[in-house]
Amino acid sequence: MNASPAARLDYLLQLADSSLILAQQLGAWVGHAPALEEDLGLANTALDLLGQARHLLSYAGELEGKGRGEDQLAFFRNEQEFRNLTLVEQPNGDFGHTIVRQVLFDAYQIELYERLQRSTDERLAAIAAKAVKETRYHLRYSASWLVRLGDGTEESHARVQQALDRLWPYTRELFDATDADHELASAGVAPLPSDVEPAWSARIDAILAEATLKRPAAAPYRWYGRLGAHSEHLGYILAEMQHLPRSFPDATW
């Protein structure tokens, strides 16, 4: 069975938008991180995510066939047209909060991209094969910080536990399958989100154990950023990210 072009396009936008929005968020740390090394770490992670988003958006634009390139898709779509996970649009908070968000996301991306390397969509498989190596390196950084903060002082432990409790409800969305997900899975384009969960969970549990952090209970409320229903934060992120190209549409430098 083949997946419909609409489902494939939407899926590419989900992947691209999560990377793009998180890159934008991490970029806000430049010049503000606790130390120069952390400035470099967050900025370099952002750069890889931005590169991945660009590959995905370019592909999405070609698939759509309406002449929209990566810039058109990044800067001239509105909030409801963005398909990123609600998790990545959550505010940076303090450094520990950013690290918790990063660990939850990196661990998910590794499991997802490892499976996408075997996608029947060859171009997506190639992008995934490239991204997974970069993402493994990101997790080494983010997880090492989570362990240091969780297993650090009382203050640092309390702060990252609080961040974990706050962000945990947004992880449910990572594994909820839509009709389009079933269509993509049966065509071999993408794994079913629920198939990614056990491996993600095992990875996260191991990191939390080392960080002496407690895994929060599952939350009943669901988020649907992947379907375009976002939290209140995305609009502000887009306003900042899209301001310049929308004010000066053909600006170049």
Which residues lie closer than 8 Å to 211 by C-beta, 6 or more apart? 146, 147, 149, 150, 151, 160
The reply on whether position 252 binds another protein by CB under 8 A is no
- Residue 50 or residue 177: which is nearer to another protein going by CB? 50
The reply on whether position 28 binds another protein by CB under 8 A is no
Smallest separation (angstroms) from another protein to the CB of 217? 30
The Cα–Cα gap between 59 and 180 comes to 19
The reply on whether position 50 binds another protein by CB under 8 A is yes
The reply on whether position 31 binds another protein by CB under 8 A is no
E-state strands within the chain = none
- Residue 125 or residue 177: which is nearer to another protein going by CB? 125
The reply on whether position 71 binds another protein by CB under 8 A is no
Q: What is the dihedral of CA 80, 49, 113, 109, to 10 degrees?
A: -70
The reply on whether position 83 binds another protein by CB under 8 A is no
Of 7, 9, 127, 184, the residue at the interface with another protein (CB under 8 A) is 127
Smallest separation (angstroms) from another protein to the CB of 134? 6
The reply on whether position 122 binds another protein by CB under 8 A is yes
The reply on whether position 15 binds another protein by CB under 8 A is no
Of 68, 77, 130, 233, the residue at the interface with another protein (CB under 8 A) is 130
The reply on whether position 49 binds another protein by CB under 8 A is yes
Q: What is the dihedral of CA 45, 47, 49, 53, to 10 degrees?
A: 180
The Cα–Cα gap between 155 and 148 comes to 12
The Cα–Cα gap between 223 and 86 comes to 7
Q: List C-alpha distances in Å: 5 to 2, 22, 184.
A: 9, 26, 10
Direct distance between the N- and C-terminal alpha carbons of the chain, in angstroms, rounded to an integer: 46
Residues belonging to the chain:
253
The reply on whether position 148 binds another protein by CB under 8 A is no
Smallest separation (angstroms) from another protein to the CB of 38? 9
The reply on whether position 129 binds another protein by CB under 8 A is yes
Q: With CA atoms as reference, report the closest residue to 126 among 117, 135, 134.
A: 117
Of 3, 8, 17, 54, the residue at the interface with another protein (CB under 8 A) is 54
Q: Which residues pair with 229 in a beta bridge?
A: 224
The reply on whether position 61 binds another protein by CB under 8 A is no
The reply on whether position 44 binds another protein by CB under 8 A is yes
The reply on whether position 179 binds another protein by CB under 8 A is no
The Cα–Cα gap between 1 and 230 comes to 31
The reply on whether position 133 binds another protein by CB under 8 A is yes
Binding site for another protein (CB under 8 A): 36-37, 40-41, 43-45, 47-52, 54-55, 122-123, 125-127, 129-131, 133-134, 136-137, 140-141, 144
